[in-house]
Chain A
Amino acid sequence: MTPLARARRVAVKGGAVGLLLPALLLALWEALSRFGLAPPNLLPAPSAVLKSLRDLWFAGELWGHIEITLLRVLLGFLAGTAVATVLGALTGYSPLWRRLLDPTLQALRSIPSIAWVPLFVLWLGIFEGSKVTLIALGAFFPVYLSTMAGIQQVDRKLVEVAHIHGYSGAALVRRVLLPATLPAYIIGLRGGLGLAWMFVIAAEFLGASEGLGFLLIDGQQTGRPANIIASILLFAVFGKLSDVALAAISRRFVSWQDSFQSAEEKKAHAADQARLQEI
């Protein structure tokens, strides 16, 4: 294989090919701005966005905005997840609790969460309390639903094996129910984290004096589109980073599932090869 062919192979296999389109679009965007085809007061050039990021950083205020937003997301996510885990475990494990709680929670779920904002502000004030509560509410439902479904879908045959070997109560939960539920639970956590990021923007739109969401609104009100795009960029970066971190932490606990999938893929691949051989 020539070095060029190998490089092409690495680029295609390694997903580098997926960077091609964004790079082209960026170049096009920059070119349009440079040649005056895009009005800079509406669509600043990528270089202008980078410059505004740098200015914000050296003005010393950027990290403060990032920090407060991260803290809100973290607190809201933890609070929502904690409540969702307890309620999801109850409704997943016990039909009685499910009949008692689930209809009400499902009804609450049909209310668009932003609709709660005026009430939260009224009850909890315009400061951190109402913001964190809104984020917690956003994170709650995906975690609650996947915890409940995850526990309900645990293979009864495996539970029977545990009963045969004398497991019950806490030992049954720890040795069978917990590991069997974990994959669904982690999917719920990642969904909850995504919604926490969505809701932090909503919360910061509504009367915040710092945070990335405030930067967005501030950029609009003071006519600085570069700041808006810079904030969007930061949301993307930190949203993605937090998801990658969560995925990395959880991979330790469900590594058996990874090897399951790769084993399945191997089998499917072998079957494909066999079919090709026959032809």
Chain B
Amino acid sequence: MLQIRHVSKRFDELAALADIDLAVDRGEIVGIVGTSGCGKSTLLRIVGGLEAPSSGSVMLDNVAVAGPRPEVGLVFQEPRLMPWLSVRENVEFALAKRPRDQRRPLADAALARVGLRAFADALPQQLSGGMAQRAAIARALVARPAVLLLDEPFSALDAFTRFGLQDHLLDIWRADQPTMLFVTHDIEESLVLSDRVVVMRAKPGRIHAQYRIDLPRPRRRTEAQLQSWKERILEDLDLAQKGADAEPEFAI
């Protein structure tokens, strides 16, 4: 349903993305991993219609993406909640096109799905980092988008909160089965969540390898098979020999 066709992106002299080709099926979860500077976030922004490709196109259900669209939800690394709106109002913010009387029940239902129903009247600053990110997910999901794009959604959170939210995201996915494309620098995260892991490399940003992770979910983080994939991806990224020191920001 989502087709990325020969997408390239240049920022002046810098080639951020070179000829990216990727097709994502309906309901598929695709994780993109890569070192910083490989253009993975730029690719996500192009798919979300926040940036235009220098060449190539992104097709969503055979319609070219030319800007942000209601059927695409976005979650960023930071929650980006409006600090002057309550949590509920922040979720309702995504429902401007709906009749007024529908907004509140929809927002409350979305908050209930992320376990924040009791915090609907709180202000964003009163939430912890993990709760704020769940509110952001509720905002992205409330309009029931067909595609959910997530740009390092859990990287600013501590490990335990991160594990909790990964499981949570899978619960939500089971309910609606949106197509999900997410960017991460956490290889384990991509292996636990994805149907397919896409490995990108930099200079210029391109797809280096793809792995189909055909294990049933929920997956255990310690599973032996995940470890072998992890090693292969580390090799793809040239990190296996140099170890974690080469890219200290990289979570292994």
Q: Which residues of A contact B (CB under 8 A)?
A: 157-158, 160-167, 171, 175-176, 179-180, 182, 254, 256-257, 259-260, 263-264
Contacts and interface: CB of A to CB of B under 8 A. Distances in A.
B82 interface: yes
A129 B97 CA distance: 49
Contacts of A166: 68, 70, 96-97
B80 A259 contact: no
Interface of B: 48, 50, 68, 70, 74, 76, 78, 80, 82-85, 93-94, 96-97, 123, 125-126
Contacts of A256: 83-85, 123, 125
B83 A260 contact: yes
8 contacts: A161-B93, A162-B93, A164-B50, A166-B70, A171-B96, A254-B84, A260-B125, A263-B126
B99 to A, nearest CB: 15
B93 A157 contact: no
A158 B81 CA distance: 7
Contacts of B82: 158, 161, 175-176, 179-180
B125 A259 contact: yes
Nearest to B76: A157
Contacts, number: 55
Given A165-B70, A263-B125, 19 more contacts: A157-B76, A158-B80, A160-B80, A162-B93, A164-B50, A164-B74, A165-B93, A165-B96, A166-B97, A171-B96, A175-B93, A179-B82, A179-B84, A256-B84, A257-B83, A257-B84, A259-B125, A260-B123, A263-B123
A167 B83 contact: no
A179 to B, nearest CB: 4
A257 B83 CA distance: 8
Contacts of A158: 80, 82
A171 to B, nearest CB: 7
Contacts of A182: 84
Given A167-B96, A171-B96, A256-B84, A157 B78 contact: yes
Given A171-B96, A179-B84, A164 B123 contact: no
Contacts of B126: 259, 263
Top 7 A-B residue pairs of the complex, sorted by shortest distance between their CB atoms: A164-B68, A256-B84, A179-B84, A260-B125, A263-B125, A161-B80, A165-B94
Contacts of B70: 165-166
Nearest to A261: B125
A256 B126 CA distance: 10
**A158, A166, A171, A254 interface centre (most CB from chain B within 10 Å):** A166
A66 B78 CA distance: 53
Contacts of B78: 157
B84 A160 contact: no
Nearest to B127: A263
Given A179-B84, A260-B123, A160 B50 contact: yes
Contacts of B123: 256, 259-260, 263
Nearest to A175: B93
B178 to A, nearest CB: 16
Contact of B48 (A164, A176, A254): A164
A140 to B, nearest CB: 27
Contacts of A167: 96
Contact of B80 (A157, A171, A179, A257): A157
Contacts of A260: 83, 123, 125
Residue with the highest number of chain A CB atoms closer than 10 Å, among B68, B74, B84, B125: B84
A278 B76 CA distance: 36
A143 B148 CA distance: 42
Contacts of B48: 164
Nearest to B48: A164
A166 B94 CA distance: 9
Contacts of B96: 165-167, 171, 175
Nearest to B140: A164
Contacts of B74: 164
Nearest to A163: B68
Which of A165, A259, A260, A264: most chain B Cβ within 10 A?
A165
A167 B68 CA distance: 10
Contacts of A257: 83-84
Nearest to A176: B82
Contacts of A264: 125
Nearest to B70: A166
A58 B10 CA distance: 80
A168 to B, nearest CB: 10
Contacts of B80: 157-158, 160-161
Nearest to A266: B126
A256 B84 CA distance: 5
* Max chain B Cβ within 10 angstroms of own Cβ: one of A161, A175, A180: A161
Nearest to A167: B96
